[in-house]
Amino acid sequence: MAAISAAALGPGVASADVYAGMTYADAKSRIASMHQKAVIATVSGDQVATDDCIVVSSMNSMFLDASGEGPDKEVLVNLNCNAAIAAPGKPGNSAASPEGRKALKERQAARNISKNPAWCDEDPKRLEACKELCDRTGLCEV
């Protein structure tokens, strides 16, 4: 019986969360460009400004408002507002976590850019990558 039900329903469709990994500010902007509204569903941590929080996951709202509008108008986002990396007395991601390892790599890359910003100017693609990293982390300038 279960095999018949599965065959009738077909396989599930897997899709990546397009907003996961973005800052809330970037996700909110992209969601607005789709004529939708970003709604914060959950927040973990309080160490960074809301716009700098990282979207962990998102989903279209399934709730209808009083006018009957709903699922296609709002995107619920779950935010991680912890610091990129924990420091003594300051909560954040563990250096051993995937997020923490990424933050440490980005911090080191930003230090390298700050020490030698001319390195970024050697290639247009490199310059764009440097600008993106510096904008995302706020730890360097090019």
Q: How do residues 17-67 score in pLDDT, each as one tens digit?
A: 899 989 999 999 999 999 999 999 999 988 889 998 999 999 998 877 788
Contact 54, 21 (CB under 8 A): yes
pLDDT digits (tens, 9 = 90+) for 85-132: 888 888 888 999 988 899 999 999 999 999 999 999 999 999 999 999
Spatial neighbors of 109 by CB under 8 A, at least 6 apart, are 133
The CA distance from 82 to 94, in Å, is 10
Pairwise CA distance, residues 129 & 35, whole Å? 29
The encoded tokens of residue 89 equal 């007395």
SS3 (DSSP) at 39 = strand
How would you list the strands of the sheet with 37-44, edge to edge?
37-44, 74-80, 54-60
The pLDDT assigned to 109 comes to: 95
Task: Report the predicted TM-score, pTM, of the whole model to 2 decimal places.
Answer: 0.65
CATH topology of domain 15-82: Trypsin Inhibitor V; Chain A (3.30.10)
- Token pair belonging to 27: 């996700």
CA gap 127, 120 in Å, rounded: 5
Provide the residue ranges of all domains of the chain, joining segments of one domain with +: 15-82, 90-142
